[in-house]
């Protein structure tokens, strides 16, 4: 007797585990959100913001070695008193804006004070006065009665430390004159 071979069919049933499915969906959504946030932060820090570490004594006591600065690279307005980072002679520098385009900058040696447009400029952040050799390499225009007129597209910047120990001086606009705004990397918006 011949047996009729029956084909055996395997049957699988789908087990619907809603808890597992919703957990996977939540994980996928969380990963997507994290990736979008990371990409957004990366884009912001390459186009809008940047950070830099302070190296030097020219901005003491406002800034010290190792301070980190967050800069706004675009969309800022420059004002007197702003801290900026700029590139000069292949190096990043941090200084404070004392004069804007059109301002007349002068140093009055009789009272040892900077004047902007004929008015004494108050600098509460400067400590310790001026070193003996601070003005040894200064541009002469800042001492004349007419002063130095800041050209369009330029600013006048100074380091806050005017009396660096060991006789060092801040290399800034009192030595090389007005700085072109094209060299500015960004405006300091946070110190940490």
| Of the candidates 143, 75, 158, 147, the residue with the CA atom closest to the CA atom of residue 109 | 143
Buried b (16+ CB within 10 A) or exposed e, 74-94: eeeeeeeebbbbbeeeeeebb
Of 11, 22, 25, 58, catalytic: 58
| Of the candidates 110, 103, 90, 77, the residue with the CA atom closest to the CA atom of residue 158 | 103
Of 95, 131, 170, 187, catalytic: 95
Residue 41 backbone phi and psi in degrees, to 5:
-60, -45
- Known active-site residue 95: yes
For the record, the structure tokens of 130 come out as 């001026």
The neighbour count for residue 112, using CB atoms within 10 Å, is 10
For residue 48, what are the contacts with CB-CB under 8 A and spacing of at least 6? 72, 73, 74, 75
- Known active-site residue 58: yes
Residues with a known catalytic role: 58, 95
């Amino acid at each position: 007797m011949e047996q009729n071979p029956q084909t055996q069919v395997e049957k699988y049933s789908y087990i619907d585990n809603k808890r597992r499915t919703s957990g996977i969906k939540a994980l996928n959504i969380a990963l997507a959100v994290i990736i979008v946030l990371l990409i957004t932060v990366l884009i912001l820090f390459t186009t809008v913001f940047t950070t830099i570490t302070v190296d030097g004594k020219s901005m003491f006591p406002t800034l010290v070695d190792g301070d980190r600065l967050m800069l706004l690279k675009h969309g800022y307005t420059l004002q007197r008193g702003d801290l900026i980072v700029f590139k000069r002679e292949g190096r990043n520098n941090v200084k404070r804006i004392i004069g804007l385009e059109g301002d007349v900058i002068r140093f009055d040696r009789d009272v040892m004070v900077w004047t902007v447009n004929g008015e004494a400029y108050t600098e509460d952040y400067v400590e310790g006065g001026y070193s003996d050799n601070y003005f040894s390499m200064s541009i002469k225009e800042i001492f004349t009665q007419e002063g130095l007129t800041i050209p369009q597209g330029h600013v006048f910047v100074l380091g806050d430390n005017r009396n660096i120990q060991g006789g060092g001086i801040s290399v800034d606009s009192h030595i090389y004159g007005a700085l072109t705004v094209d060299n500015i990397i960004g405006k300091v918006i946070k110190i940490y």
